Chain A
Amino acid sequence: MDQQTLPVLFDANVLLGPQAQRPPGAPEDVRALIATMDAYGITRGLVAHTWAKGHDAATGNARLTEEVKGQGRLSACWVVLPSATGEVPPEPEQVDRLLASGARAARLCPVAHRLSLEPWEVDRLQGALAERRVPLLIDLDNRHWGEPRPWRFIVWCCRTYPDLPVVLLREAQANFRTLFALMDRCLNLVVETSYLQGHDAIHLMVERWGADRLVFGTGMPVYDPALPIAGLTYAGLSPEALAGVAGGTLRRLMEGCQV
């Protein structure tokens, strides 16, 4: 493969901002993040803000919008919450504001934000996102492949809102028996690849479900981008499939937002 055919990597899973336990050399601001992306050959990033995930959704999302303004390589992803407490606007208004800001994806963090994921808690949020077809990234803060997943919620979400693209972040090989059954049944379920390390799994999943069911991601700057990059570039995909997983699928999902 020569320089002309290098995949255009569009990273679906990037955080911007300060971290409590900052890994050595981890970028925290836009300039450092762009430099890190250059070092790892990453062209674009779909970015959520650590303030929005770890401090306050509204101020974090506003900060994100401001920091990525004018940065063509960074696209904003807002952190979203149910509105019952009043700490965020009602769900349709949240989604209106998200789209008006230029963001084209939402990130739900059920572990970090102590959500039960019961339908009566999150149905309005999922409904509002589905109505505007805003891709929903589910961030379960999983640190190891052995940790459990809220499969009932994921199935409910995919089946109740079939127009909602549901992107499962950091899904791993230990769940293949469950995940493969879901991939067959839920056509709006998309897997992000930062932790997808099963042997030849990316190739196998693309063969079985197509490149539009996988999106490349790294989880940086918490995690090392090197592993998922080589996991993709050495996956043995056709150039078309490689381009899709590397970025085409994510671009298509974001372009599907009904602004």
Chain B
Amino acid sequence: MKTMREMALGGVRLDGVRVIDGHCHLGPYMGFYQPKNGAADLVRTMDRVGIDRACVFSTLAVTIDMRGGNDLSLAAAKAFPDRLLAYVVPDPNHAEAVPGELERCFGAGARGIKFHTSLHNYPFDGPAYHPAFAFADAHRLPLISHGVGSPDTLRRVARAYPGAHFIVAHAGAGGPQGDALLRVAAEEPNVYLDLASSVGRFGAFAEVVQKAGAHKLHYGSDVPWMCFTHQVGRVLLAPIPEADKRAILGGNLAALLATRR
């Protein structure tokens, strides 16, 4: 049996390894050209690499149209029910519509929640996000957020909603957030870190694994803003135990997705 390092160097399909991508967009973004951004395009690359499932949220929903964008995510999950999981995006700039949108999307099969505090230009702990926190708390759902305020803000929110699974986007690869955020992930039982990051400083990922713990890290690619393949490589070629690689690539997120009630 090949090691995961050998699989990466040979470009071997990841059969026998459960891989769940927790951070995928869908559809075009006008800020720059993102090739092959449709659901079928994503599944084609997933087939080639050996990625079992992907959590998808449309870029339309994190930019200008919450309902239209969430519909795209739901349609993608309906088209590929064994491969794509729809996450609902609440737009805090339309606070009055958020509770109804959460009910509508989860009634239609959504499996998690995505915030984009940067593109929505709204603070992570602002009141318009509270209905989504409460919903994730009540139903024990994953909630991945691009932007969480300060580490202290994240800690406070995570403690207020202990049933929600908070996943900090772009924070699991050793980025500028530093050790304070890693400590929050290590210490708070419902805080996790997503790997997706275009920048990979030499040796930084192994340090993150050591400080936050492999059980607190989730593979995520940010496709099609980036590619599935690069974050897979970050894990497969890291100088960490094989069991940790399996947990990060899919085991950890699978466990969170199974807690829904």
Chain A residues in contact with chain B, CB under 8 A?
A: 1-3, 5-6, 23-26, 39-41, 143-145, 172-177, 180, 195, 197-201, 204, 220-236, 242
Contact = CB atoms under 8 A, between A and B. Distances in A.
A199 B204 contact: no
16 contacts: A1-B12, A3-B10, A23-B202, A144-B198, A197-B230, A200-B35, A200-B227, A220-B202, A224-B202, A224-B204, A226-B205, A227-B231, A231-B233, A234-B8, A235-B229, A236-B45
B199 A223 contact: yes
Interface stretch (B184-192, B234-242, B250-258): B234-242
Interface string B203-225: 11111000000000000000111
Contacts of A235: 11, 229
Contact of B33 (A2, A176, A229): A176
A200 B36 contact: yes
A191 B42 CA distance: 24
Contacts of B33: 173, 176-177, 180, 198
B7 to A, nearest CB: 9
A228 B230 contact: yes
A225 B5 CA distance: 13
Contacts of A198: 33-35, 224, 226-227
A210 B239 CA distance: 34
B9 A197 contact: no
Nearest to A23: B202
Contact of B227 (A3, A199, A225, A226): A199
Given A23-B203, A200-B35, A230-B229, 17 more contacts: A24-B203, A39-B239, A145-B198, A173-B34, A199-B228, A200-B36, A223-B199, A223-B201, A226-B200, A226-B205, A226-B234, A227-B231, A229-B9, A230-B237, A233-B9, A234-B228, A236-B45
Contact of B49 (A2, A145, A234): A234
B9 A41 contact: yes
B198 A172 contact: yes
B251 to A, nearest CB: 19
A229 B10 CA distance: 10
A240 to B, nearest CB: 14
A24 B238 CA distance: 13
Contacts of A228: 230, 233
Nearest to A143: B199
A25 B202 CA distance: 8
Most buried by B among A24, A172, A220, A228: A24
A222 B202 CA distance: 6
Nearest to A24: B203
A47 B238 CA distance: 23
Q: Which 6 A-B pairs have the closest CB atoms?
A: A230-B233, A233-B11, A224-B200, A226-B237, A199-B224, A24-B203
A11 B236 CA distance: 19
A244 to B, nearest CB: 15
Contact of A230 (B8, B32, B199): B8
A230 B230 contact: yes
B200 A177 contact: no
A24 B206 contact: yes
A224 B203 contact: yes
Given A224-B204, A227-B230, A235-B229, A2 B10 contact: yes
B198 A201 contact: no
A199 B233 contact: no
Contacts of B36: 199-200, 204
